[in-house]
Amino acid sequence: MTSPLETLLETRDWLLADGATGTNLFNMGLSSGEPPELWNVSEPAKITTLYKSAVDAGSDIFLTNSFGGNAARLKLHNAANRARELSRISAEIGRNVADRADHKVIVAGSVGPTGEIMAPLGQLTHELAVEIFHEQAEGLKEGGADVLWVETISAPEEYIAAAEAFALADMPWCGTMSFDTAGRTMMGVTSAAMVTMVEKLANPPLAFGANCGVGSSDLLRTIQGFAAQGTERPIIAKGNAGIPKYVDGHIHYDGTPELMADYALLARDSGARIIGGCCGTMPEHLRKMREALETQPKGEKPSLEEITSRLGAFSSASDGLGDDEPTSTRTNRRRRS
Amino acid sequence: MSDEDQDIILADLDDDELVQQMFDDLYDGLKEEIEEGVNILLSRDWPPYRVLTEALVGGMTIVGQDFRDGILFVPEVLLAANAMKGGMAILKPLLAETGAPRVGGMVIGTVKGDIHDIGKNLVGMMMEGAGFEVADIGINNSVESYLAAIEEHKPEILGMSALLTTTMPYMKVVIDTMIEQGIRDDYIILVGGAPLNEEFGKAIGADAYCRDAAVAVETAKEHVARKHNKAAAG
């Protein structure tokens, strides 16, 4: 059976995803350090408002409030045993909003990282990671999510474990990684390496890409890195609305709606088909992004110089793919065999 | 690999060569080789503190620089830190016996609700490598647990990390509570984590934002020295 997201991708050149979850919930009174997922039960009206604000701003896809809804994360709040329930409810609220929307909207069940380091470097085994992701996947499926959506992943092993778990849940999925360290993920994965990994999976995602990280310029460089691999798979761009600043007791992102509209166009021109925001992206940003994508034609792939002149400088000179890689201060090394 | 790259006998190297080889072995995360190197240097009557600073800290400085410059990434640095830990385990009891100079103390922890502590662990290990006494209070720390830890350990430095935009404001909650209790200025507060930046660190009232573990060590040393100078002058 063709999933709703596939159908939508067949009929549209681009889709608008949603913006921030955390930033929006803070504005509704969530306190820092508290798990947003508990609000699925205690504040369902606010979660409805969150989803609806994205839908009303023109999003074709929104992510459920379940980013930290896995047992590994919830155990920090003594709620490890509620992973399936809280994930299910996040999707139920989403289903309700999507089914009443005036346009076709996809409910994407958000799955964030476990926060653990995977073996052999760390303690988390592949089997346990699959189990943790599978539990959450079943909850999101029960709640009526159209697609599962793993995001902000750094380690390839964790992405692979999520893929396996989603196969067990028999659900279509999308998955993005976060490229926040010199153009790579924290674990050193380049955009090109991610494409290779994705294409080797037994059950590859419907779409893949990048989210969060640092600034929208860096994110677009990553998107171009994906596209340069010649993949046919739809690419997702979900960048932050600028960088976080602390203003009057609140986190404020310095990216304006106009800047994010520009980012959306550049993302499409760079090869992304699913375009949204991440931290700091509010409904007013999404509205401008939608308007820009609808009113402006798709253009040529922008040069890196054009990206930086319109969106701001990169955080690192290189993204791990070019010839101008930084070289080690450690020279004349005698490597052991 | 050519033949001459293989079968390096650490004990056959002179001191300088051995230290250079240990830099390489730290870089490659070879724990057993580092332990062996530490033991050889000790057997050659190197004081433990010299082994620490010249061989281990020297090697980790290179690792830290290449991490900062985007040449090494977290997996390699974790392996290097693990190798250093092996060497440290040998040196620690000896350092305590020989009364090595104390650089300073640090309490470090990740704030409540955050996702992981990889960066914080790296900072802790690098700080230890630089000669600081580090009390690592782990993840998921509330204001109360930070305050209890600084009360217990009386460090010069409090380090906080956050990896998520949803948890980073909690650092301000901790600092504000310290201000309320009149103890803020008793500590050097360093903050770090992927979503942070210098401006954010300033805005929440931290002494400094450290973009990575190498910078954290440099910043910590600077601030501790400044604090000592102030105390001496005052």
Digit-coded pLDDT (tens) for A11-48: 999 999 999 998 899 889 998 778 999 999 999 999 99
Suggest the residue from A26, A32, A132, A327 to mutate for an interface test with chain B (most B CBs closer than 10 A). A32
**Binary contact (A73, B167; C-beta < 8 A):** no
The reply to whether B161 touches chain A by the CB within 8 Å rule is no
| Predicted confidence (pLDDT) at residue B3 exceeds the cutoff of 50 | no
Please report residues of A whose CB lies closer than 8 A to that of B164: 22
Q: CA of A33, closest CA in chain B: separation in Å?
A: 5
Bridge partners (DSSP) listed for residue B109: B160
Tell me the average pLDDT across B14-33.
Answer: 96
Q: CA of B114, closest CA in chain A: separation in Å?
A: 7
Please report residues of A whose CB lies closer than 8 A to that of B166: 22, 25-26, 30, 32, 36
CB-based contacts of A122: which residues, under 8 Å, 6+ apart?
A: A116
A257-302 pLDDT, tens digit each:
999 999 999 999 999 999 999 999 999 999 999 999 999 999 999 9
- Measure Cα distances from B190 to A335, B134, B234 in Å: 36, 14, 23
| Predicted confidence (pLDDT) at residue A333 exceeds the cutoff of 90 | no
**What's the confidence (pLDDT) of residue B2?**
46
Count the Cβ atoms, other than its own, within 10 Å of residue A103: 9
Of B21, B28, B173, the CB nearest to A32: B173
Tell me the average pLDDT across A97-122.
Answer: 94
CATH number for position A279: 3.20.20.330
Domain count, chain A: 1
The reply to whether A280 touches chain B by the CB within 8 Å rule is yes
Average of per-residue pLDDT values in chain B: 88
Tell me the average pLDDT across B50-57.
Answer: 89
Q: Which two tokens stand for residue B140?
A: 């998921």
**Binary contact (B166, A77; C-beta < 8 A):** no
**What's the confidence (pLDDT) of residue B90?**
96
The reply to whether B116 touches chain A by the CB within 8 Å rule is yes
The reply to whether A34 touches chain B by the CB within 8 Å rule is yes
AA letter at A260: M
Collapsed DSSP state (helix, strand, coil) of residue B62: helix
| Predicted confidence (pLDDT) at residue B1 exceeds the cutoff of 60 | no
Q: CA of B172, closest CA in chain A: separation in Å?
A: 9
Torsion angles phi and psi, residue B26, rounded to 5: -65, -45
Percent of chain A exceeding pLDDT 70 equals 96
Torsion angles phi and psi, residue A127, rounded to 5: -60, -45
Most confident range, picked from A291-295, A327-331, B111-115 = A291-295
- Note down the domain range covering A261: 4-336
Please report residues of A whose CB lies closer than 8 A to that of B114: 33, 115
B153-169 pLDDT, tens digit each:
999 999 999 877 778 88
Q: Which two tokens stand for residue A67?
A: 């980013």
**Binary contact (B74, A186; C-beta < 8 A):** yes
| Predicted confidence (pLDDT) at residue B120 exceeds the cutoff of 80 | yes
What ipTM does the predicted assembly reach? 0.82
Average of per-residue pLDDT values in chain A: 93
Instruction: Sort strands A235-239 and A244-247 into parallel, antiparallel or unpaired.
Output: unpaired
Q: What is the pTM of this model?
A: 0.88
Torsion angles phi and psi, residue A174, rounded to 5: -130, 160
Q: b/e string for A260-288 if b means 16 or more Cβ within 10 A?
A: bbbbbbbbbbbbbbbbbbbbbbbbebbbb
